[in-house]
Amino acid sequence: MSRTIHLALHPYGVGGPGQHGLWKDPRVAKNASIDINYYIAQAKAAEHALFDALFVVDSQFINSTYPAHYLNRLEPLTLLSAVATHTRHIGLVGTASSTYNSPFNLARRFASLDHISGGRAGWNVVTSFDTGTSRNYGLDEHLDYATRYGRALEFVEVARGLWDSYEDDAFPADVERGVFLDPAKLHELNHEGEHFKIAGPLNLSRSPQGQPVIFQAGISEEGRDLAARVAEGIYAPGGSLQQAQEYYADIKKRTASYGRDPEHIKIFIHGGPVVATTDEAARRREREIFEEDNDFDGNLALLGRSFGAYDFSGHDLDAPFPDVAHLAEKGGRTGAAKLIERAKAEKLTLRQVAESVSEFRRSPFVGAPGTVADTIEKWFDAGTLDGINLAFRNNDDLELFVDGVVPILQKRGLFRTEYAADTLRGNLGLPVPANRNTRERGVVDH
């Protein structure tokens, strides 16, 4: 079977990071981020186009400077459970923090979504970017990098153990014999680790796909290593074609080093395509979008998120970039460290750093449908991606991509013409994980 591209949809409602002007667009409902019908419509459109998944991001801290979508949005698992009842094939991937959740509770919630959807759930594991989240959970400070990533690894291991509490044939439900459960097929976890002590078992059986699919967005060394060890899908940073190639090769190599099949980890890069009837019209629209979103105060606030939602507005904009390295250590360390290094090397002011972060950058996925399809094919063949996580400003832009680009990719044999399965794993080409207890008993019996 030839390798094909995977596509996911990433809806942002009234506007995510950097999309300061999106909420003003008359085609975007001002309550889109809390309107379940908006998400259902988006999911149905993506499913009609045979997309692999709907991906919902999340964070648990805000202040008044945060992006419009972040200020007023639905909790991911509640949202996706509602969407599940209106769709049949598209995967449903929700973001949830391993730093600010309990493994038993979260494992149960994702397993519930997996059952509600018939095996289409995915969990995007994050360690929480926003340092202020700690204050919403009774903690004075955000956990450091090493602790958060160590906790994340153990959290995923515990969740997977809980998802294996019941073997697949644990419920004979034999009325004649009066046997509903085979108790030999129910297993306690009895986990005792550095961060968690959890007995189990989980009071929910396995779904048609065995376990929810694990996603992760690894950028730092710790993040890449965690992704290579546990992730089955990755949301990659993208960047230039060369940067995407290097990231792709690095993750696949790390995955193999842990004894895993590199084909069993699907790398999605971010893509915000701009499609129009001609290349020139698309490029004009790309520039218009930049101007719609180009708000200096908003960009300054966005810069602060990398430093624990730090408020830079009290500093002299034309003075040297302030010494805030200590604020980056527990926040967006990797990106923040690069900003600090560049600011020092080039002697940049705070204003110059804020402007450079938000300066106009041309996207590779802009043009007429054929041009965008050509670029996607080029990147795919160059070893930069297994899929693209697509974000569109409004429904019209989604339709332009679906009606214009998708048919070209299909004609070239690069994208499916029908769903291969009813589960997220099946459509991503990922194996159903064997129940560890069944596997262990099989080894003993053999």
69's tokens: 């979508």
CA dist 215 to 49, 73, 95, 272, 325, Å? 22, 21, 9, 20, 29
Contacts of 293 (CB under 8 A, 6+ apart): 18, 19, 20, 21, 22
417's tokens: 């013409």
Q: How far apart are CA 137 and CA 222, in angstroms?
A: 24
Q: Judge if the upstream peptide bond of residue 201 is cis by omega within 30 degrees of 0.
A: yes
127's tokens: 């360690």
270's tokens: 């971010």
Residue positions in the annotated binding site? 58, 95, 149, 220
Which residue in 190, 212, 185, 211 sits closest to 200, CA to CA? 190
Cα angle 361, 367, 372 (rounded to 5 degrees) comes to 100
Which residue in 358, 373, 357 sits closest to 282, CA to CA? 373
User: Which residue in the block uniquely carries the two structure tokens 């602060």?
Assistant: 304
Which residue in 261, 244, 243 sits closest to 252, CA to CA? 261
Contacts of 343 (CB under 8 A, 6+ apart): 320, 321, 352, 353
Q: How far apart are CA 119 and CA 112, in angstroms?
A: 10
Residue positions in the annotated binding site for FMN? 58, 95, 149, 220
Cβ atoms within 10 Å, residue 414: 18
